[in-house]
Structure 1
Amino acid sequence: MTKGDNVARFDRYLLSQLLVLFGFFSLVLVAVFWINRAVQLFDRLIGDGQTALVFLEFTVLGLPRLVTTVLPIATFAATIYVTNRLNNESELTVMASTGSSPWRLARPVFLFGLISAVMMTVLSHDLVPRASAQLSEREVEISQNITARILTEGTFLSPVRGVTFYTREIGEDGVLRDVFVADRRDPSTRMIYTAAEAYLVRNDTGTSLIMVDGLAQRLLPDGLRLSTAKFQDFSFDISGLMRSDATVAERISNMSTWRLLQDRDALLAEGTSAGALAEETHSRFARATFCVVTALIGFATLLVGGYSRFGVWREIVIAFLLLLALDGTRSTLTDPVLDDASKWWILYAPSVVGAVIVTGMLWSASHPGWVRRRLRGVA
């Protein structure tokens, strides 16, 4: 077996190890982040009277954006873990002794970073916008669903502040039985309505609750006077109990990149700023390129540190701090692009700076004698 065959086999071995650990860390991180968000989402949806199927649907639609958050972290963690294990087992030392340079050893890591970048590209340019658009539509539908918001049998609900609603039973024909409505939105007057039956009526102007055979009680806090009136039928407008965001304007974050590029002139004519359009488009490409840098930073930092019987915790901390510094600068670069669309190129600055750092580390690992000579010369 030739030297080239051995190197190719090592490339496949290293790439397979990286992909396996990448899948493991991705699952763990997604589970951790998902549990944190699912608790809040569950309380909000179930508290509004939604079913478990709606909760599951919202969870699935939120997964693509969640994956884009954990993807660079999983890429970095997989690279650190695999490189550290290869160092401890002296596999990198053996490959270096066969004549493989640090640049050559970094090739499978670079391919791994490209695979992660392709995943990020598919998510950022297509899946995340599509899921976000669907999620926005479902939120509007749920906000318009009165049955889910205020019609729950045997439960006192407060759709909005100052209003309490209760119904003992909802018939199969839609009739509400034993209805109680307390309206405290006006501080000077408190109203309580009770009715044997009630019906929901929708029209062009809104939605009304028609109560039949009931009693209206009005309390005036100033004089502590209570007045009552029986009624045969009474209309209570509940349009105010609906959320005001019945319609949601389509946002550029919910559009695919192809549409952003194709309909750029139309979006600008509709009022979308050029800076917002440039930031949204180029940030998606910048996220993909950053995945490649994330993988190479972890590998190059541990490769420069070499083998140590005391471990490589110092190199791991350095790699993490480098990644944290580069990733932290990305959030500060959006404002200049929003103000001036011609500055779109600065969104790629973290990836470019990271690539320069990786190049310097790999060059240093390829010329260890030059570094020692320079240090002796300075001394």
Structure 2
Amino acid sequence: MARLDRYLLRECVSFFLLALGVTTAILLLDKLPWLVSLTLRHRLSFSTFLRFLGYILLTLSSLSVPIAFLIGGTLTFNRLALDNEYTALQAAGVSFYRLIAPLLALACLLYVVVGLLQMYAAPWGFRMIRQLFFEVAQRRALFHLRPQEFNDTFKGLVLYVERISPEQRLEGVFIADLRTPVPRILTARTGAILRHTSAQQVILRLEHGVMHHYLPTQKRYQLFHFRRYDIVLELDTRLGQHIGRAPRPRELFPTQLLQVIRQRQVQRKPYLRYVLFWHRGFALPFACLIFAGLGPALGVVPPRLGRSGGYVIS
């Protein structure tokens, strides 16, 4: 590698890393109030807060890297132009296209990196955020329960628990299930709140109980004894909106996106949103190749624009 290439790469990488930190911080400012509000509202631990923050940064990286590369290339050539190094290189016979060759090589590397971030890292980050919501929902379900108090936090249910053991076992459970046209009453000796990871559901498992069910049309009163009975809990809060739903396009990997697109085409359902996310996985990485030429072109602006004029234009 020529000394000129190493010099340009060193300058560009230093500006790129600086711009990456600033760009990521700016993009994070939009999410930070929501994250702080979520932490305070649901009393999240500091480790959970850091996990949320890390996954959010992962989802933003596929956007911040191309922007930082554009700024890095612009500032590199802007500095060359202001220090008259660009003019000296042109006088020595070094063309503009020769100067952007090392940036183009760096852009090819970033093309692969951003492609992996957009297609695999970002969906994984969104999935892990959803998983964290799921874990928080289970803890909040236990948090809302108070011994010897009626609780209507869960959608369509009124719960009463006589006692909660140190092992988080529920004892003396009474439930009024109002989710059906005909309400049901359930009583159980013991119970526990569990997580169904694959279905992304919070479940209340009752053991050794009785279900009371009155049928007004038939004028009959039914009594069912059960050894084990599961009830899906739905939090009647914003937190409950993030769990128990179908995966969004941004949470799907490329092969899963193609599978959903084919299924929706066969079922004649709208699928353009999924196609958009499929093409987005290639568009954002390709932006790095475009910025390899656009950034230097903006950097060598006329001197009258002053220092960092190309950066302002970009």
Alpha-carbon separation, structure 2, partners of 1:45 and 1:102: 51
- C-alpha change, 1:265 and 1:160, in structure 2 (3 Å) is closer
* 1:93 correspondence with 2:87: yes
1:226-375 equivalences under 5 Å are 239=233, 241-242=235-236, 245=241, 246-261=243-258, 264-266=261-263, 268-269=265-266, 273-303=270-300, 305-306=301-302, 308=303, 311=306, 315-317=310-312, 319-320=313-314
The Cα of 1:316 is off from its aligned counterpart by 4.2
The Cα of 1:238 is off from its aligned counterpart by 11
Between the two proteins, what is the percent identity of the paired residues?
21
Which of 1 and 2 has greater Rg? 1
Alpha-carbon separation, structure 2, partners of 1:261 and 1:238: 31
Alpha-carbon separation, structure 2, partners of 1:119 and 1:205: 37
The Cα of 1:108 is off from its aligned counterpart by 2.0
| 2:77 alignment partner, one of 58, 83, 87 | 83
Alpha-carbon separation, structure 2, partners of 1:261 and 1:175: 44
The Cα of 1:14 is off from its aligned counterpart by 0.3
The Cα of 1:297 is off from its aligned counterpart by 1.6
Q: Which residue in 2 is equivalent to 1:333? A: none
SS at match of 1:100: coil
1:110-189 equivalences under 5 Å are 110-147=104-141, 149-150=143-144, 172-174=166-168
Aligned residue identity for 2:91: S
Greater strand proportion: 2
The Cα of 1:147 is off from its aligned counterpart by 4.5
Greater helix proportion: 1
- C-alpha change, 1:301 and 1:136, in structure 2 (3 Å) is same
Alpha-carbon separation, structure 1, partners of 2:142 and 2:193: 15
Deviations 1:102-155 (A, max 9, x none): 2222222322333332221111111111121222233233224344542599xx
Q: Which structure 2 segments of 5+ residues have no match?
A: 171-189, 195-200, 207-230
Q: Is the 8 A contact 1:252 1:260 kept in 2?
A: yes
* 1:109 correspondence with 2:103: yes
Q: Which residue in 2 is equivalent to 1:51? A: 45
Alpha-carbon separation, structure 2, partners of 1:206 and 1:107: 58
Deviations 1:8-56 (A, max 9, x none): 2211210121112211221233234335523421321332132222212
- C-alpha change, 1:270 and 1:20, in structure 2 (3 Å) is farther
Aligned residue identity for 1:17: E
> Which has the higher relative contact order, 1 or 2, with Cα contacts under 8 A spaced 6 or more apart?
2
| 2:12 alignment partner, one of 11, 18, 24 | 18
Aligned residue identity for 2:297: A
The Cα of 1:250 is off from its aligned counterpart by 2.3
Q: TM-score, normalised by structure 1?
A: 0.56
Q: Is the 8 A contact 1:84 1:302 kept in 2?
A: yes
Q: TM-score, normalised by structure 2?
A: 0.66
Alpha-carbon separation, structure 2, partners of 1:149 and 1:261: 40
Q: Is the 8 A contact 1:302 1:312 kept in 2?
A: no
Q: Is the 8 A contact 2:75 2:299 kept in 1?
A: no
Q: Which structure 1 segments of 5+ residues have no match?
A: 177-198, 210-236, 321-379
- C-alpha change, 1:38 and 1:290, in structure 2 (3 Å) is same
Deviations 1:308-346 (A, max 9, x none): 3662565444x32xxxxxxxxxxxxxxxxxxxxxxxxxx
Aligned residue identity for 2:274: L
